[in-house]
Amino acid sequence: MPHVIANGVRTFYRTMGDGPPLLLIAGNGMGHTTFDEQLPAFARHFRCIVYDLRGIGASDVPDSGYTPAEMAKDAWGLLSALDITEVHLAGYSLGGAIAQEMTLGQPARVLSLSLYASYERPLPYMRLRYDILVKVVEEATPELWAMYSAFSAFGPEFINAHHQALREEIAKRIARWERGDAPSRVGLAGHYRAILAHDTADRLHGIACPTWIAVGSNDAVTPSVHSQRMHQLIPASGLRVFEGKPHRLLNFEAEEFTGCALDFLLQQKKRA
């Protein structure tokens, strides 16, 4: 399996496709497979790089360094190891927080920025959710983690309309712990703490590259108020709210989202 040492962390990655480089950054507790439903479309036009964040999958699980700023250094280390100087960035949830730090830290290297179901800083609701999740992942059973993380991620309207899909999602999350690739409690708790540590609200006005922001109207994790706020703060940004979609807009009824996300990326490819 391909690994590089990125910012001192042994990091697993995969690449697919040809063209301008596009780094796809996963959300908390999710690995390089996060964008599997988007890769077939994206890889026809871009060299897509996906990877396991520190703390998850086949990458190292260090005891510390779980902040978006430090994880942005991990991502730049990966790109440097692959001899990539300029890149399109797309981040989902926590991955969007990491992409914001990457763009603010090295703006000349970022060709475009896509923020999927992300946020600028945790408001009290989000902060309480992740305070609870830290406790749950450190102290409770995998089944309780699976039930609470799914229940709190989708919200009442989506759950009432898709209750069978939610039961299947909970079963998948429980099954992760029963396989040999069970997530690390240290890594998961680290990702949750990284979410709590993120705050770019006072700096987002400094992002000058073309930016596309997407969120589901039923997002119970990063409600659309966060995306609306980022849209207000980032000068060259567009916003699309996908009606009825939850936080996992990449995976639940993904076709419309994937098409719109690719349209933005292709516009930036033409400009470059």
193 within a domain of the structure (yes/no):
no
Residue 153 sits in the same domain as residue 37: no
Residue 71 sits in the same domain as residue 174: no
239 within a domain of the structure (yes/no):
yes
pLDDT of residue 272: 74
pLDDT of residue 253: 75
**Which phi and psi angles does 4 have, rounded to 5°?**
-135, 160
pLDDT of residue 115: 98
The answer for residues whose C-beta is within 8 angstroms of residue 83's C-beta and 6 or more apart is none
192 within a domain of the structure (yes/no):
no
Cβ burial of 262 (10 Å; 0-12, 13-18, 19+) is middle
Angle, vertex CA 38, rays to CA 35 and CA 41, nearest 5? 145
The answer for residues whose C-beta is within 8 angstroms of residue 18's C-beta and 6 or more apart is 47
191 within a domain of the structure (yes/no):
no
Residue 148 sits in the same domain as residue 237: no
What Rg value do the Cα atoms of the chain yield, rounded? 17
Residue 134 sits in the same domain as residue 231: no
Residue located via tokens 């697919």: 16
Closest CA to 205 of 234, 230, 232: 234
CA 243 to chain centre: 20
**Which phi and psi angles does 70 have, rounded to 5°?**
-70, -35
> 107 with 209: CB under 8 angstroms?
yes
What CATH number is associated with residue 266?
3.40.50.1820
Write out residues in the chain with pLDDT < 50, as ranges. none
Cα–Cα distance for residue pair 84/76, rounded to 1 Å? 9
User: What H or E segment, with its residue span, contains residue 23?
Assistant: strand 21-25
Residue 220 sits in the same domain as residue 150: no
Residue 163 sits in the same domain as residue 263: no
226 within a domain of the structure (yes/no):
yes
Residue 26 sits in the same domain as residue 62: yes
Residues pairing with 22 in the sheet? 48, 88
Entry pTM: 0.96
Give whole-number Cα distances, 134 to 113, 131, 154, 259, in Å: 29, 5, 18, 35
Q: Pick the last residue of a domain from 156, 186, 216.
A: 186
Instruction: Report the number of distinct structural domains present in the chain.
Output: 2
65: containing domain:
3-121+198-271
Angle, vertex CA 165, rays to CA 219 and CA 159, nearest 5? 45
Closest CA to 213 of 49, 34, 92: 92
95 within a domain of the structure (yes/no):
yes
Q: Pick the last residue of a domain from 133, 161, 186.
A: 186
Sheet holding 110-116, edge to edge: 3-6, 9-16, 47-51, 21-25, 87-92, 110-116, 211-216, 237-242
Residue 134 sits in the same domain as residue 224: no
Cα–Cα distance for residue pair 25/261, rounded to 1 Å? 14
Residue 84 sits in the same domain as residue 144: no
pLDDT of residue 195: 98
Residue 54 sits in the same domain as residue 168: no
Residue 47 sits in the same domain as residue 170: no
Q: Pick the last residue of a domain from 161, 186, 211.
A: 186
Residue 52 sits in the same domain as residue 36: yes
Residues pairing with 87 in the sheet? 110
